[in-house]
Amino acid sequence: MNALVAGMPHKQQDIAQSVQALLGQMTLVEKIGQMSQVEASHGYAPEYLGDRLRAGLIGSVINVVEVDVLNELQRIAVDESRLGIPLLIGRDVIHGFKTVLPIPLGQAATWNPTLVEEGARVAALEAAKSGVNWTFAPMIDISRDARWGRIAESYGECVLLTSELGAATIRGFQGDDLAANGSIAACAKHFAGYGAVESGRDYATTNIADTKLRNVYFRPFNAAVDAGVSTLMTSFSDLNGIPATGNRYILTDVLRGEWGFEGFVVSDWDSIRQLQIHGLTENDRESAYAASTAGVDMEMAGDAYSNHLPGLVEEGRVSEESIDDSVASILRIKFELGLFDNPYTDPESLPEFANERALQVAKEAALQSVVLLKNDHGALPLAADELSSIAVIGPLADARYEQLGTWIFDGDEELSVTPLQAMRTLLGDSVELRYVRAMENSRSRVNDQFDAAVNAAHESDAVLLFLGEESILSGEAHSRADIGLPGDQVELVRRVRAIGKPVIAVILAGRPLTLSDIVDEVDAILYAWHPGTMGGPAITDLVFGKASPSGKLPATFPRVVGQIPIYYSQKNGGKPPSKDTVVHIDDIDTFAPQTSLGMSAFHLDTCFTPLFPFGHGLSYTWFGYENIRVSANEISIGEEVVVSVELGNHGDIEASEVVQLYTRDLVGSLTRPVKELKGFQRVRLAPRETRTISFKLHTDELAFFGRDGKRTVEPGMFHAWIGGSSDAEQRTEFRITEHR
Ligand code: GLC
């Protein structure tokens, strides 16, 4: 037994030996064929890809989801090529397949890893039924800029929340056995730092200090590798002058050298050839050289590898050994998927699309994703038995496609149940629903239907205003410089508000929006993101009190776009603003000497705090936090402390609360954030119930990457908070000592 397999579990030994045996039979051209993923969505793929498959020039196809076509492609690859190597079938199964779950940012608002895992499992089963065996998800880019359209695909701004939900998604897709029917390989993307694009413009450049890469942007990917993710995808973006797709430091030194990643790395769409556009290389040949030597194993939808790697190997610039390493990592995933035993899909062997379980998970995810941002004087829930009529206003009240959100190539809008449909079903004739679309779409500046909306409000007991942005306004390449409500929506709110009836805003969007213009114009706000197939029933259950909102914000909501980047785990700085640092630019005297204002880190024309903080979310009951305490005031490195609080449900309904634990390392060899999420628990309490909620905190969870790039725990004083948002007030403290 060679050193490669010594000590490996039996199955892995078999795979390792099978990989080496197959590799030993392959020609250089066949090896490079495995490193090519080909776009296969135009026309009948077996016809125009057949010859390349027979020649062993294709390792994977992307964007085919007809199971018969895929089985035929597999048959050609397996039966008609020299070595019969089956194909990886890739597809963006981001938040569902036919049955669509809330966008990932919405799923993040559930703070429920178990539910997110269930959602990924539903998606995997439906995708596998179509012949897909590899998805390009989870997207785990830390996102702290709501202008960036791809924040919609992310799990938000927090390292811990993103790491936990990314790992849960991987478990859901890959299951316990990658070879099991219905399991598909996952792909953590986009490595690395993509969420830090300048000005939130997609594909723009990023400049991230190594300490910030290690303490923020790398961490969810390290968690994904620890969770056993099969593949990673490179980012389009330039990272500190070296685009991720050509960046050996992240793809080899860190990913493989430090983390021991054994899967394979795929480029993003044609991102290898884009290295020339970045200005890193002169031509495709040099781009192939740069990407291959950096550690990119497979090229997505480009031909730099197939055109130039053979020559680069013959020139000796790329070693055949490095080609073998790439091909071995690809073959290993194919063996782990069981494709050599059975490359074909029998759709009858998998559950029906949109089955009861799928729809139930989609509804529960939508229910738990909705965040109650405000609820003045208990405007919500609406008591249907006390209302005779409700005005339902806005284009997003009945938009089956739009509520699915971005990245739903295979989502079936015919399955969608809209809020208007769900309300009609729930209320029947008991309450008259006066629906006025009022706007053609969210961007419209035509307000000739506003009178009709105002009249409907006039004649009704309450108003449900469906506001926000359609799915096209977020997602890849869809960044916005102004993240307010598009079109003339603010004017619509003002016109309706003037009637004086209770106004409930239900907002569907793919990002945090700046809501300062309407926040005081409405009585309550339910933020539903893009809630997916079952968004309608979920929103309806919440509006009419069949369930209480329990979502918590996974991203900070700025007051104005100029506050961005704004996130909870910021550094303190040397002149932090205090709560009373509020200056109104209009109040500034005509002559104000330089030293007369603020002198701390704030903007003259807005408050320095966000409109709604990370972790914020209200309920129909009221949760109180009291008596926070620690099990020890002092612990040494390697020990753990228990932080506890009394949580009380002070209302008359049963409801869930996401209890959050934050810490602050007061002094470090690097300055440390003013708060870091270190734990969260979703807890359900009966009316009037009080329960002790405890978090075990090991010193290892307080480690960070220091000046030397090494992970370390430093002794010193720590603060700890427990509460229902990052604005938690219950605080305690403890000290870590070297040893006791
Ligand atoms: C896109 C995206 C990536 C996606 C890939 C395949 O450009 O950046 O996230 O998985 O191409 O569609």
**pLDDT tens, position by position, 430-467:** 999 999 999 999 999 999 999 999 999 999 999 999 99
Distance 232 CA to ligand 1 centre (A): 12
The answer, yes or no, to whether the previous bond of 190 is cis (omega within 30 of 0) is yes
Q: From the CB of 269, is ligand 1 less than 6 Å away? A: yes
| CA-closest candidate to residue 356, choices 619, 122, 102 | 122
Residue closest by Cα to atom 12 of ligand 1: 92
Beta-strand pair 462-468/503-508: parallel
With beta carbons less than 8 A apart as the criterion, state whether 243 and 207 touch. Answer: no
Please provide residue 684's backbone torsions phi and psi, each rounded to the nearest 5 degrees.
Answer: -115, 125
What's the angle, vertex CA 174, arms to CA 329 and CA 295, rounded to 5? 25
Kindly tell me if the per-residue pLDDT of 556 is higher than 90.
yes
> Where does the pLDDT of residue 12 fall: very low under 50, low under 70, confident under 90, or very high at 90 and above?
confident
Buried b (16+ CB within 10 A) or exposed e, 256-267: beeeebebbbbb
Within 13 Å and on the Cβ side, how many CA atoms surround 421? 16
Q: From the CB of 147, is ligand 1 less than 6 Å away? A: no
**pLDDT tens, position by position, 168-178:** 999 999 999 99
Mark whether 700 is an active-site residue: no
Closest ligand 1 atom to residue 153 Cα is: 9
Residue closest by Cα to atom 10 of ligand 1: 136
Instruction: Extract the tokens encoding 161.
Output: 């929340």
Q: From the CB of 268, is ligand 1 less than 6 Å away? A: yes
Q: From the CB of 153, is ligand 1 less than 6 Å away? A: no
Distance 131 CA to ligand 1 centre (A): 19
| CA-closest candidate to residue 483, choices 577, 567, 558, 566 | 558
Q: From the CB of 141, is ligand 1 less than 6 Å away? A: no
Q: From the CB of 410, is ligand 1 less than 6 Å away? A: no
- Placement of tokens 């080899």 in the chain: 252
The residues facing 238 across adjacent strands are 243
Residue range 523-543: average pLDDT? 98
**pLDDT tens, position by position, 178-236:** 999 999 999 999 999 999 999 999 999 999 999 999 999 999 999 999 999 999 999 99
Instruction: Extract the tokens encoding 162.
Output: 């993103």
Q: Quick one: what percent of the chain has pLDDT higher than 70?
A: 98
Phi-psi region at 228: left, alpha or beta (left = phi > 0; alpha = psi -120 to 50): left
> What is the reported pLDDT for 596?
65
With beta carbons less than 8 A apart as the criterion, state whether 463 and 390 touch. Answer: yes
Closest ligand 1 atom to residue 139 Cα is: 9
> What is the reported pLDDT for 728?
95
Closest ligand 1 atom to residue 189 Cα is: 9
Residue range 267-272: average pLDDT? 98
Distance 300 CA to ligand 1 centre (A): 9
Q: From the CB of 191, is ligand 1 less than 6 Å away? A: no
Kindly tell me if the per-residue pLDDT of 1 is higher than 50.
no
Distance 280 CA to ligand 1 centre (A): 21
**Cβ neighbours of 448 (radius 10 Å):** 9
Residue range 400-425: average pLDDT? 98
Q: From the CB of 203, is ligand 1 less than 6 Å away? A: no
> Where does the pLDDT of residue 13 fall: very low under 50, low under 70, confident under 90, or very high at 90 and above?
confident
Closest ligand 1 atom to residue 63 Cα is: 12
Distance 108 CA to ligand 1 centre (A): 20
> What is the reported pLDDT for 391?
98
Kindly tell me if the per-residue pLDDT of 54 is higher than 50.
yes
When mean pLDDT is compared across 31-40, 72-81, 597-606, 697-706, the lowest value belongs to 597-606
Q: Which amino acid is at 639?
A: E
**Is the overall model pTM greater than 0.85, yes or no?**
yes
Beta-strand pair 432-436/389-393: parallel
d(CA 148, CA 596) in angstroms, rounded, equals 36
Distance 273 CA to ligand 1 centre (A): 15
Residue range 508-530: average pLDDT? 98
> Where does the pLDDT of residue 582 fall: very low under 50, low under 70, confident under 90, or very high at 90 and above?
low
> What is the reported pLDDT for 7?
67
Q: From the CB of 676, is ligand 1 less than 6 Å away? A: no
> Where does the pLDDT of residue 3 fall: very low under 50, low under 70, confident under 90, or very high at 90 and above?
low
- Placement of tokens 């725990």 in the chain: 713
Residue range 40-61: average pLDDT? 96
Kindly tell me if the per-residue pLDDT of 349 is higher than 90.
yes
Distance 342 CA to ligand 1 centre (A): 27
Which mutation among 41, 136, 274, 407 tests ligand 1's pocket best, with the greatest number of atoms within 8 A of CB? 136
d(CA 447, CA 487) in angstroms, rounded, equals 10
Residue range 541-563: average pLDDT? 98
> What is the reported pLDDT for 585?
74
Measured between alpha carbons, how far is residue 136 from residues 140, 381, 666, 725 in Å? 11, 39, 39, 31
> Where does the pLDDT of residue 685 fall: very low under 50, low under 70, confident under 90, or very high at 90 and above?
very high
Distance 468 CA to ligand 1 centre (A): 25
Kindly tell me if the per-residue pLDDT of 410 is higher than 60.
yes
Kindly tell me if the per-residue pLDDT of 602 is higher than 90.
no
Alpha helices in 377-467 (DSSP H): 419-427, 450-458
> What is the reported pLDDT for 667?
98
Q: From the CB of 705, is ligand 1 less than 6 Å away? A: no
Which mutation among 135, 269, 272, 478 tests ligand 1's pocket best, with the greatest number of atoms within 8 A of CB? 269
- Give every CB contact of residue 169 below 8 A, 6+ residues apart in sequence: 116, 117, 119, 120, 137, 138, 186
With beta carbons less than 8 A apart as the criterion, state whether 295 and 233 touch. Answer: no
Could you tell me which CATH class the domain 623-737 is placed in? mainly beta
Q: From the CB of 476, is ligand 1 less than 6 Å away? A: yes
Q: From the CB of 39, is ligand 1 less than 6 Å away? A: no
Question: Which residue out of 92, 141, 238, 268 is catalytically annotated?
Answer: 268
Residue closest by Cα to atom 7 of ligand 1: 269
> What is the reported pLDDT for 586?
76
